[in-house]
Structure 1
Amino acid sequence: MKPLFLLLFSFLLGILIAYVLKGDPHLSFNGNLSMALMFCFTAIGHFKFRKGMTMMLPPALPAKGAAVFISGVAEILLGIALLFPVTRYIAAILLIIMLVLMLPANIYAALHHVDYEKGTYDGKGPSYLWFRIPMQLFLVAWLVYFSILRS
């Protein structure tokens, strides 16, 4: 919920500031800036809640700690890459792939009641998927619209 709030709040704030200062909402820029901020924010969780993040991954997956670390770094780098027209398209494609690849981890975590912030198995459970899956689709649609179609 926090990442979605950050995405929408920063987008609306950016539009307001751009409109007041420039007379133009600069939708493409603010759409990409807000997504970059969101991915940099979510990447912090990969480092701050590393134990809980590794619990989100199935036992059969090797090197869970490395996967969490690498995906956190990738979120930061790709988020920043959204800010530059020359790298925006490929960054958006790679972020969409990451979102698709991370969905099974989110499903696994929900089915096993993982609370990644506490690193425990007393999370919200499968009901969380009613929010998470539509949010993942929304993030993909946002990337397609602002980073691929409008670039």
Structure 2
Amino acid sequence: MPRLTRIGLYVLALLFMAAGILHFLRPGPYVRIMPPYLPSPLLLVYLSGVAEVGLGALLLPRQTRRWAAWGLIALLIAVFPANIYMAQHNPSGLDVPAWLLWARLPLQAVLIWWAWLYTRRRAVK
């Protein structure tokens, strides 16, 4: 694996593991961005945190890298409605400018592309 690709792998894994840990340390902001039609927001926050930590860690071993990358892609798609809700409603308690909330939406596509890089056989070697 080229050096830049390997560095990107470690950064992506660390990014997701850190974000997942934040779901447990500070669940409040994540609960507030949950669309009201979703049941048990705190449970969903914890489950997504487990998924982020677990899939981020599973990116590192070659044997689980492809599956973890596909799992991250699925997770990013699954949480996209919460990001849309956050951009549309800017829940109270989140001191984030509206433009930044909207700018976050295309970032999901970048993260999906980044994870996709590690679904290819070449990235597993």
Correspondence list, 1:2-151, <5 A = 26-114=3-91, 120=93, 122-125=95-98, 127-145=99-117, 147-149=118-120, 150-151=123-124
Distance in 1 (CA, whole Å) between partners of 2:45 and 2:21 is: 11
Q: Secondary structure at the match of 2:119?
A: helix
* Count of matched residue positions in the alignment of Structure 1 and Structure 2: 122
**What do the CA deviations read for 1:79-111 (whole angstroms, capped 9, x no partner)?**
010001110011000100110111110110121
Structure 2: segments with no counterpart, 5+ residues: none
Distance in 1 (CA, whole Å) between partners of 2:39 and 2:16 is: 24
Give the C-alpha shift of residue 50 in structure 1.
0.9
Give the fraction of aligned pairs with identical amino acids, expressed as a percent. Answer: 37
Distance in 1 (CA, whole Å) between partners of 2:2 and 2:64 is: 22
Could you state the TM-score of these two structures normalised by the residue count of structure 2? 0.87
Task: Extract structure 1 runs of 4+ deviating beyond 6 A.
Answer: none
Alignment root-mean-square deviation, CA = 1.9
Per mean C-alpha deviation after superposition, the further-off stretch among 91-100 and 25-34 is 25-34
Give the C-alpha shift of residue 122 in structure 1.
5.0
Distance in 2 (CA, whole Å) between partners of 1:49 and 1:109 is: 17
Give the C-alpha shift of residue 67 in structure 1.
0.5
The aligned amino acid for 1:148 is: T
Q: Secondary structure at the match of 2:97?
A: coil
Distance in 1 (CA, whole Å) between partners of 2:112 and 2:28 is: 27
Give the C-alpha shift of residue 28 in structure 1.
3.2
The aligned amino acid for 2:116 is: V
Relative CO higher for 1 or 2, CA cutoff 8 Å, sep ≥ 6? 2
Q: Say whether the 8 Å CA contact 1:89–1:148 is kept in structure 2.
A: yes
Per mean C-alpha deviation after superposition, the further-off stretch among 43-52 and 72-81 is 43-52
Q: Say whether the 8 Å CA contact 1:114–1:123 is kept in structure 2.
A: no
Structure 1: segments with no counterpart, 5+ residues: 1-23
Give the C-alpha shift of residue 144 in structure 1.
1.2
